[in-house]
Chains A and B, each alone.
Chain A
Amino acid sequence: MSMMLRGLMGACAVTALTLPAMAETLTIATVNNGDMIRMQKMSKPFTDANPDITLEWVTLEENVLRQRVTTDIATKGGQYDIVTVGNYEVPIWARQGWLLPLEDMGEEYDAADILPPISAGLSVDGKLYAAPFYGESAMIMYRTDLMEKAGLTMPERPTWEFIYDAARKMTDKEAEVYGICLRGKAGWGENMAFLTSMAHSYGAPWFDKDWKPQFSGEKWKKALTDYVTIMNEAGPPGASSNGFNENLALFQTGKCGMWIDATVAASFVSNPKESTVADKVGYALAPEGEKPQMWLWAWTLAIPSSTDAPDAAKKFVAWATSKAYTEQVAAAEGWANVPPGTRTSLYENPEYQQAAPFARPTLDSIMSADLQNPTSVEVPYIGTQWVGIPEFQALGTSVGQQFSAALAGQASVDQALQMAQQIAEREMAKAGYPK
């Protein structure tokens, strides 16, 4: 009897000790933006429904996150079970075998509902490697009152010439109102995101079919000259230091007539709590040259192959990127606050259309983005405001420094392009292109 009792007690003790060990902890690396922070706050229904899973959030600034996650995944450190990555990284990392394919996401997931340009950018050989949490394109945000004062009407999709003309007419430097605010701060994700998409629209690619850099071409010269000229004539002072946040602050305080940037900005500039011009903002599709200016970015959730909890991770990714999550956010914080740009069903929802006046231009911008054909000539890479090769982060930043210097007046447009050409030729030769 005493043997049996001891055995039972032992079994109970072992069970008690094992139970907490069975609970899985998912470490989720994410970026600090409004939608991601909201997901963190609203994850209780998931943990309630899955008491055996606990969530550990690691929120980092975008560039720190990118460096940190790349180091961990490349060395198979296994520190993260779910990572937030952009659509630039997903195909590159998937080909390296660093990410797990997202198959069998459950019947309710409805992967076919994901916007086609977004899912195409996250798939390799027909398999989805990351689930989009929110997607964005570029659009024009403009001050309706200043546009009216200038005697102009913004077309649905203006030409670059219209933008330059409007920028000049809206500028009132004495009143510290500048017709146009564009990114000027050097960086592959800063000024080069805008300038790459602008140059693509002008018909200027980064590389020809043989991976030869194209900065010495006439179209790059025209694009960069137009950019520098209009920013000098109608841009804010010190524009070479302005990135997304600086332009956002300028626009929200009423100092910009037009701002061409990521669609995610629309929810900030139209928020009366943050913006002094919230009731005077209009939206239009990004400008058109030889091709419309294309821009496609998605923050996605992916599962590194080094995770030791792939099933729990997949369960969380499926929940966070589901239609049900969108409805949960809408119920708690209103339709204007749901993560945009990922699902067709959201844009068909009349409540969302009513709550988000920027819904239609956002959808149209995303749908018109073609990752395979970003410009008017054939190119060997994918990408709209970036180039989908691993070398682009370093190369884009180096070239961005030259263009930022041209904007600051430290170099001429010709000198900047010549330097960009030299840098790109050197780096591409070093990397062994054409491969």
Chain B
Amino acid sequence: MARNISQSRRWGFTILAWGAALVIFFPILWTILTSFKTEADAIASPPKFLFFDWTVENYAEVQSRSPYFRHFMNSVIISVGSTLLGLVLAIPAAWSMAFQPGRRTKDLLMWMLSTKMMPAAGVLIPMYLMFRSFGLLDSRLGITVVLMLINLPIIVWMLYTYFREIPSEILEAARMDGASLRNEILHVLTPMAVPGIASTLLLNVILAWNEAFWTLNLTTSKAAPLTTFIASYSSPEGLFYAKLSAASTMAIAPILILGWFSQKQLVRGLTFGAVK
């Protein structure tokens, strides 16, 4: 009897989990379906779910109008580049905060996080002027550095949390064995924190991939990533929902596939240290 209750409860939770997953995924599913409709079917009322004339016309139109591959490569370079650059700076910073904390470490961490609360539009003009002066407008280098700076607080915070889980005695032992600071971080700490670093990397690549404010404002054409590609299909005067959906599907597909294959790492990274 007890087993029956437990099984029905398990079924209940499974259905609930699937239901929640479907609700969360539905907007993406709807975007993908709309991308295969004609513009007339895209606005049909009542909406057509599966029974419509499937077409790949929108993908052909998007391909012919925009240099998708160039935007895609820019997205890859900017998101991966900014995350790797962030990790190079954040690993020593997080090491220092986790293993050599000072009196103000907590305050410093909070201050770093508070910079994320600043509205981006407030610093747009100064940033734009600096970019203009340094010749960084519409350059991959410029936007990579900006996205690195934006995500740095999150990278430091995540790594700090992971490093805190590692017993400091292991590092002390390495030091007693004569390991230099560089060797201690590179050959002792980093290998132990690989799962945490991997999930930090994945999450920040996704954040940088989806960043739209700075990429739209600081890039024009040469360095423009996929966010700019999507923005070019949005229109307040004219219904281009099917084409917009095709462009969105093409823009999110790479990151969706990356997320699907690395979901174990992502979940592990996000729940690391949550349960003790």
Interface residues of A (CB under 8 A from B): 27, 31-34, 37, 40-41, 56-64, 67-68, 71-72, 75-80, 189-190, 243-245, 248-249, 252-253, 255, 262, 264, 268, 273-276
Contact A71 B125 (CB under 8 A): yes
A268-B238, A268-B239, A273-B40 are known contacts. Are A32 and B233 too (CB-CB below 8 A)? yes
Q: In the complex, what residues of B have CB within 8 A of residue A58's CB?
A: 220-221, 224, 228, 232
**Interface size range on B against A:** 20 to 34
Choice from B44, B66, B137 contacting A253 with Cβ under 8 Å = B44
In the complex the two chains form, what is the Cα distance from A270 to B59 in whole Å?
25
Instruction: Pick the most buried of B129, B137, B224, B239: most chain A CB atoms within 10 A of its CB.
Output: B239
Per-residue interface assignment for chain B, residues 124 to 148, with 1 indicating a CB less than 8 Å from any chain A CB and 0 otherwise: 1100110010000110000000000
Measured between beta carbons, the chain B residues less than 8 angstroms from A79 are 137-138, 220
Asked whether any CB of chain A lies closer than 8 Å to the CB of B217, the reply is yes
Distance between B30 CB and nearest chain A CB, rounded to angstroms:
15
In the complex, B27 has a CB within 8 A of chain A: no
User: Which residues of the other chain, A, contact B138 by a CB distance below 8 angstroms?
Assistant: 79
In chain A, what residue has the closest Cβ to B238? A33
* B137 contact set on A, CB distance < 8 A: 77, 79
CB distance from B219 to the nearest CB of A (A): 9
**Within 8 Å CB of B39, what residues of A?**
273-274
Say yes or no: A61 contacts B239, CB within 8 Å: no
User: B132 to A248, Cβ gap below 8 A?
Assistant: no
List A contacts of B65 (CB < 8 A): 37, 40-41
If A61-B232, A76-B132, A77-B137 are given as contacts, then 12 extra A-B residue pairs at C-beta distance below 8 Å, sorted by A number, are: A33-B235, A58-B220, A58-B221, A59-B232, A71-B124, A75-B129, A252-B239, A253-B43, A253-B44, A255-B45, A274-B39, A276-B40
Residues of chain B within 8 A of A62, CB atoms compared: 235-237
Q: Which residue of B lies closest to A250 (CB)?
A: B45
Distance (Å) between the CB of B94 and the closest chain A CB?
A: 35
Which of A40, A63, A78 is close to B236, meaning CB atoms less than 8 Å apart? A63
Q: Would you mind naming 10 contact pairs between A and B with Cβ atoms under 8 Å apart? A: A32-B232, A32-B234, A37-B65, A71-B125, A79-B138, A248-B239, A252-B43, A262-B237, A273-B38, A273-B40
Bound-state Cα–Cα, A243 to B125, Å: 30
**Which A-chain residue is minimally distant from B216 (CB atoms)?**
A64
- A61, A77, A253, A274: the one contacting B231 at CB < 8 Å is A61
Q: Hey, which chain A residues are within 8 Å of B237, CB to CB?
A: 33, 62, 244-245, 262, 264
- Which residues on B sit within 8 Å (CB–CB) of A68? 216-217
Closest-by-CB residue of A relative to B39 is A274
A248, B233: Cα distance in complex, Å: 17
| Closest A-B pairs by Cβ, 10 of them | A59-B232, A61-B234, A32-B235, A249-B43, A79-B220, A253-B45, A56-B221, A33-B238, A77-B132, A62-B236
Q: How far is the CA of A79 from the CA of B217 in the complex (A)?
A: 11
- Chain A residues contacting B221 (CB-CB under 8 Å) are 27, 56-58
Q: Decide yes or no whether B240 CB sits under 8 A from chain A.
A: yes
With CB as the reference atom, state the residue of chain A lying closest to B222: A56
Q: Please give me the residue from chain B that is nearest to A245 by CB atom.
A: B239
User: Across the interface, do A64 and B231 meet the contact criterion of CB distance under 8 Å?
Assistant: yes
The one of A31, A67, A276 in contact with B235, judged by C-beta atoms closer than 8 angstroms, is A31
Across the interface, do A61 and B40 meet the contact criterion of CB distance under 8 Å? no
Q: Which of B28-44 contact A (CB under 8 A)?
A: 38-40, 43-44
Distance of A179 Cα from B65 Cα, bound (Å): 38
User: Given A32-B240, A189-B236, A244-B236: A71 and B44 within 8 A (CB)?
Assistant: no
Q: Which A residues touch B129, using CB under 8 A?
A: 75
Return A171 CB to nearest CB of chain B, in Å: 17
B124 touches A274 (CB 8 A): no
Docked CA distance A35–B113 (Å): 46
Q: Which residues of A sit under 8 angstroms from B238, Cβ to Cβ?
A: 32-34, 245, 248, 268
Chain B residue with Cβ nearest A297: B237
Bound Cα distance from A189 to B132, whole angstroms = 30
What's the Cα separation between A80 and B124 when bound, in Å?
18
Cβ B234 vs Cβ A249 within 8 A: no
Q: How far is the CB of B197 from chain A (nearest CB, A)?
A: 35
**Complex CA–CA separation, A80 to B129 (angstroms):** 16
Bound complex: CA A37 to CA B137 (Å)? 25
- Asked whether, in the complex, the Cβ of A71 is within 8 Å of the Cβ of B220, the reply is no
Complex contacts, A189 vs chain B, CB 8 Å: 236
Q: A64-B231, A79-B138, A253-B45 are in contact. Are A243 and B217 (CB under 8 A)?
A: no
Distance in angstroms between the alpha carbons of A62 and B240 in the assembled complex: 14
What residues on B are CB-neighbors of A249 within 8 Å?
A: 43, 45, 239
Residues of chain A contacted by B220 (CB below 8 angstroms): 27, 58, 79-80
Q: Who on chain B is nearest to A273 by CB?
A: B40
How many angstroms from the CA of A40 to the CA of B66 in the assembled complex? 11
Closest CB of chain A to B212's CB: distance in Å? Answer: 9
Residues B54-95 near A (CB distance < 8 A): 65-66
Whether A75 contacts B128 by the Cβ 8 Å rule is yes
Interface centre among A68, A76, A276 (most CB of B within 10 A): A68
CB B81 to nearest CB in A, in angstroms, measures 22
Give A189 to B240 CA distance when docked, in angstroms. Answer: 19
Given known contacts A189-B236, A248-B239, A273-B40, is B217 in contact with A71 (CB within 8 Å)? yes
> B239 touching A274 by the CB < 8 A rule?
yes
Residues in B with CB closer than 8 Å to A57 are 221
Which residues of B (219-274) have their CB < 8 Å from a CB of A? 220-221, 224, 228, 231-240
Residues of chain B lying within 8 A (CB to CB) of residue A64: 216, 231, 234
C-alpha gap A243/B132 in the complex (Å): 36
Q: Which residues of A contact B132 (CB under 8 A)?
A: 75-78
Give complex CA distance A27, B219 in Å.
12
List, in ascending order, chain A residues with CB within 8 A of B124's CB. 71
For residue A248, which residues in chain B have a CB less than 8 angstroms away from its CB? 238-239
Contacts of A75 in B (CB 8 A): 125, 128-129, 132
What residue of chain B has the Cβ atom nearest to residue A299's Cβ?
Answer: B237
- Say yes or no: A60-B232 contact (C-beta < 8 A), given A75-B132, A253-B45: yes
Within 8 A of A (CB), among B169-225: 216-217, 220-221, 224
